Structure 1
Amino acid sequence: MYRAVLTVAATAALVIGGVTPAVAAPSSRLPGAPTSVQVSGSGDGAAVTWSPPRSGATPTGWRVTVSPNTNQPAHGVDRLPASARSDRFGWIRAGVTYSFSVRATTSRGTGPEVRVRYTAPRSTTVAQSLFALDGAGALVRYPASGTAAPRTVTTAGAGYTADDVGNVFVPSTDRTAILLHPAGGGAARVLATGLHLTPDLRSDVAGNLYWVDSVSGAITKLGLKGGSVTTVLPSSGTAWTVGRDGTVSAFTTTSNGGTVVTASPQGTVRTRTVAAANGTPIGYFAGLLADGKGTLYVSYRAFGGSFYYGWWSLAAGSSTLQQVDTRLAYQYSATNDSSLVLGQSAEWCAAIAEQWPPNPCVADHTVTHLWSQDASGATKDVATSGVLARPNGLWLGAADTAGDLFVDAESGLWRIPAAGGAAQRLSTAQWSRLLVI
């Protein structure tokens, strides 16, 4: 789960920076400088386009970079095939000036770079969308604002994921191919074949796709920019997740922690043995989520009869699980780019007490708190109303960048606004695999 679905261009701008010319004519053994380099932006993304050099060796690839590269996969460096003529970067922040460079590459070396600059307008807003599967397996897209009608993307959406521009990717029925449903609508096309898929595709902000190979059990990646299929980690462990920044983590759990194997966007693999600060057992592993900054959130069900599902955070690079210090509640849970977001009930009863005769515990299930904690540990709590939490259990929803929480309650699909106040019901039907991007 991550996170992590459609970025609609709310504001667009075109800024063509001063092209940095080659200081000296390149050797004919190397490619020349790319031509017609431009950058355009919309929402929280920017797209760079170019044409081939007019001189020098024929390129065998391209190296495209962005600076500053905060939150960018692979530190903002993309290596693309020779056929590429464009590249897109997400996580572009309003008011920040970015420099993009493009240079042609060959086995003998790289040609001169051309740079362009882009500043995202401070007025830029990003409209996201909620994706969900209905009871028949159809994939439906809602606007995250909840103010417009939903649209069916495909009637066979099991195992889907999506990228930041709204393209949807779905495993084929025989699990050997990935189908691409374009953001703008139209017929689906086959993106890749000859695969061993499980019905659980995931993605990062760069648009790379990930799955567990059904034959080898390895976490596998299809680089949409590079176009190649590679093994990221040899095993998915007890559970696995992909952060929006492209960090892939496999967690093999024990009652007091476990082992986390992490692959960075650059491919560096690190293994950590993790445990709670005091080393004592925590409970039964229940679920794993990630934000876009390298933080993992691990859910454990408490020992005994309470059936309370709590959260523990594991900071990037840390080996110590820190308990997420919040109130006892029935709750819905999700992560966005920066935070763990919880919709929590007014009251709570341990499962054993709910069944205790002759006077069982009765609690108010109304979600009255929208609570969040970011990677630094800072928390926020706002009042809300209108939707009932499900009983004790791990109930995963989806959260957008603003902090709105989307949940599948027993009464249907709901949006709990980040600003608090009354929740908004989007549908009376039941939904699964919620995803916002």
Structure 2
Amino acid sequence: MYRAALTAVAAVALIVGGALPAQAAPAAATPGAPTAVKVTGVGGDADVSWSAPRTGPKITGWRVTISPAENQPTHGVDKLKASARTDHFGALTARTTYSFAVRAVGAKGLGPAVTVKHTATGATTDPTVQSLFALNAAGAVVRFPVSGTGAPTTIAAKGAGFTADDRGDVFVPSADLTSIVMYPAGGGAAKTVATGLHLTADLRSDVPGNLYWVDSVSGSIVKLPVTGGAPKTLLGFGAPSASIQRAWGVGRDGTVATQAGNGDSLVVNTASPSGTTTARTLTYAGGNDTLGYATAVVVDGHGNLYLNERSPGGAGYWGWYLLKPGATVQQHIGTHIAFEYAATNSGTFSLLQSAEWCTSPAEYGTPGGCAIDRSIPNMLVLGSTGSSKTVPVSGITAGSRGANIGAATESGDVYIDIDQAPTAGLWRVPAAGGPAQQVSAAQFTRLLVM
């Protein structure tokens, strides 16, 4: 809003005889300060709201920052469109006081910031504020409490390709794969949040609630910003080829990674939360490890990639490898070849391995298969900074070969689904190890903790 003002000299001139005309004060070059700025929050979430400045030129956008910015995408800086009046932050740490600064953006720069503070009362490090989401055998999205006890709640009857954000909102591709439907965490009617899309039945999400998918026309990874606006193309997989297998993943911080390979070469593309893209061609590390067929990618909250690859040939080994930021040589994870189950959260990667392993021809080529010990005696936990520990586990036996991706809470509890007797069903493995707890004897896929 512009507001005329008289200078002191002009005002005096008018009083004594009107010799000089009134002069307008110089217009502000940048927007004024936002008004009515406030923050509300519960658990590990906070919502900041504000109103427009009372003075200054046209607003072209908003910039909202959080400090400290640990576990936040884009280093804690959100750039929003001009119509925005709210912003959401997740992954807050309990008993930590955060500062939120809101500034208007104009054509000639940023206006002054207004800062508000909020102390998180709970966080994603507290398992009671997270939920385990999964797809049941009937194709419905269900939610379990991550305490390991309690019956599941059905969220959506047809949920193939679903994902969820840290508020507990669930997102499902429409049946014709052109729209995204949201089921609010607090209940209520489902609503369509985006249309006119080229989806595949495989949505992903990060902590703030940005949504990602593989475009069915271009084959690229597309992002739908939680702050609004049109979908953005982030990454491709490289030139299409029937001989190359592909996989992709999204970290809780918004890091996106693609993996493509055919047993002779592997290419990994990465987009950081700020949008910076890198491409890496992996090289052979030597020893007994090889570059396998790309089968899965999971990402922690610090840019570490965990790649699952199926070994060339007919042995039937599916192994996990660590690829650190900037590296081109992957590191094999685990102490031996095994049937494996893996999960990651913001800061750790957990791997459950069977005591023994046999090749696929040996398992299926003789009556009764190979007689090996498939029990899982321990869980290996790798930290994002290089720490490592092993905790004992009991009560579970590995099932089929495969990537076998589970889900982990921020406190380190791991959920896996085992598809074969004698321990078929959904299991919770405590972060401290010990006896595994069966959550359900039924089968579930697409496990997700948010």
The TM-score with structure 1 as length reference comes to 0.87
Q: Corresponding residue for 1:407?
A: 416
Specify whether residues 360 and 419 from structure 1 end up closer, same or farther in structure 2 by C-alpha distance, changes over 3 A only.
same
Determine if contact 1:247/1:265 at 8 Å carries over to the other structure.
yes
SS at match of 2:330: strand
Specify whether residues 434 and 357 from structure 1 end up closer, same or farther in structure 2 by C-alpha distance, changes over 3 A only.
closer
Q: Give deviations 1:348-395, integer Å, cap 9, x for gaps.
A: 333344457589641232222122212233222212222221133321
Alignment of 1:156-235 (within 5 A): 156-235=158-237
Instruction: State the shift of 1:167 in Å.
Output: 0.8
- Structure 1: distance between partners of 2:368 and 2:441: 33
Q: Give deviations 1:266-311, integer Å, cap 9, x for gaps.
A: 2212111222333973333332221111111112233455422221
- Structure 1: distance between partners of 2:162 and 2:69: 28
Specify whether residues 358 and 225 from structure 1 end up closer, same or farther in structure 2 by C-alpha distance, changes over 3 A only.
closer
Q: How many residue pairs get matched?
A: 413
Determine if contact 1:284/1:302 at 8 Å carries over to the other structure.
yes
Specify whether residues 27 and 121 from structure 1 end up closer, same or farther in structure 2 by C-alpha distance, changes over 3 A only.
farther
Determine if contact 1:141/1:152 at 8 Å carries over to the other structure.
yes
Find 1:278's aligned residue among 268, 286, 291: 286
CA RMSD of aligned residues (A): 2.5
Q: Corresponding residue for 1:6?
A: none
The TM-score with structure 2 as length reference comes to 0.85
- Structure 2: distance between partners of 1:276 and 1:269: 23
Instruction: State the shift of 1:30 in Å.
Output: 3.3
- Structure 1: distance between partners of 2:27 and 2:432: 59
- Structure 2: distance between partners of 1:283 and 1:408: 24
- Structure 1: distance between partners of 2:76 and 2:68: 8
Q: Give deviations 1:186-213, integer Å, cap 9, x for gaps.
A: 1101101111111111111221111111
- Structure 2: distance between partners of 1:346 and 1:181: 42
Q: Corresponding residue for 2:56?
A: 56
Instruction: State the shift of 1:401 in Å.
Output: 1.2
- Structure 2: distance between partners of 1:240 and 1:108: 39
SS at match of 2:357: coil
Asked whether 1:423 is paired with 2:436, we answer yes
Instruction: State the shift of 1:312 in Å.
Output: 1.1
- Structure 2: distance between partners of 1:220 and 1:303: 31
Q: Give deviations 1:298-327, integer Å, cap 9, x for gaps.
A: 122334554222211100121121111423
Instruction: State the shift of 1:57 in Å.
Output: 3.2
Structure number with greater Rg is 2
Q: Which amino acid aligns with 2:358?
A: C
Specify whether residues 357 and 231 from structure 1 end up closer, same or farther in structure 2 by C-alpha distance, changes over 3 A only.
closer
Find 1:243's aligned residue among 251, 265, 270: 251
Q: Corresponding residue for 1:316?
A: 325
Instruction: State the shift of 1:420 in Å.
Output: 1.6
Q: Which runs of 5+ in 1 are unaligned?
A: 1-24
SS at match of 1:220: strand
Instruction: State the shift of 1:87 in Å.
Output: 1.1
Determine if contact 2:59/2:107 at 8 Å carries over to the other structure.
no
Q: Corresponding residue for 2:32?
A: 32
Q: Which amino acid aligns with 2:156?
A: T
Asked whether 1:432 is paired with 2:449, we answer no
- Structure 2: distance between partners of 1:333 and 1:26: 63
SS at match of 1:310: strand
- Structure 1: distance between partners of 2:161 and 2:26: 48
Alignment of 1:55-134 (within 5 A): 55-121=55-121, 125-126=126-127, 127-134=129-136
SS at match of 1:198: coil
Higher relative contact order (CA 8 A, sep 6+): 1
Instruction: State the shift of 1:173 in Å.
Output: 0.8
SS at match of 1:196: coil
- Structure 2: distance between partners of 1:370 and 1:108: 55
SS at match of 2:282: strand
Larger strand fraction of residues: 1
Q: Corresponding residue for 1:387?
A: 396
Q: Corresponding residue for 1:263?
A: 271
Structure 1 residues 97-106 or 116-125, which shifts more? Answer: 116-125
SS at match of 2:79: strand
